[in-house]
Amino acid sequence: MTVFSSRCSKSSAERLNPWLAMAMACLVALLLVLPRPSAGQGRPTLEFIYTEVVPSESQYVVNAAVTMSANPRVEELVNAGVAVPFVAEFVLTRSRWYWFDESIVERVMDFRLSYHALTRQYRLTVGSLHRSFDSYDEALSAMLSIRNWAVVDRSRLRGGESYDAALRFRLDLSQLPKPFQVAALGSRDLDLSTGWTNWTFLAASR
């Protein structure tokens, strides 16, 4: 294996890094403030089409579908080389008339949407798993479809009892690199969240 080394000195690299970070922040800031034809159509939205918790062989899994209105800002960031982070959050509780609701489980699943210029492919990272796509629309569609997300063992729920589920899907600005977080502050196009969706279901009898 051939090993390539850099001729730059440490001091040169230290001088370069702040300039590189500043250039990246300026690029994102420019992308965020440029006017778009869709600006008059209101804030871009994320919404659930449906949500469900269903039993599998040994666990309960979450299935959900999300729709996102056209959002050029997200696509521009992805094409600029930024791994745009989204997160799905799930909470399961059981109501108790004599005390506070019982917290059963809380789960989080991370998504990252990115573009690799060398392969000219879009990548969707879900947890530690990766999938590649030929187009942005394909990668986005896959991310907005949550399938068989295992959230709790069946043994932890009592058959025939009611449980309260809550699910949210959002763009997580806190996971962006710091220069991009600053540039994204106040951007309506990146203030993306479904908000919490709540529903009640009966645990299956064994």
- Residues 67-125 have pLDDT tens digits of 999 889 899 999 999 999 999 999 999 998 888 889 999 999 999 999 999 999 999 99
Number of CB atoms found within 10 A of residue 157's CB:
22
- pLDDT average, residue stretch 14-19: 47
Q: How far apart are CA 120 and CA 117, in angstroms?
A: 5
Provide the whole-model pTM. 0.78
Name the percent of the chain lying above pLDDT 90.
61
For 10, residues 6+ apart whose C-beta sits below 8 A from its C-beta are none
Select from 69, 74, 76 the least CA-distant residue to 111. 74
Cα-Cα-Cα-Cα dihedral sign, residues 139, 90, 51, 189: negative
First to last CA, the chain: 56
Please tell me the total number of residues recorded for the chain in this structure: 206
Q: How far apart are CA 132 and CA 165, in angstroms?
A: 31
For 131, residues 6+ apart whose C-beta sits below 8 A from its C-beta are 123, 124, 139, 142
| Of 160 and 23, more confident | 160
Residue 205's identity, in one-letter code, is S
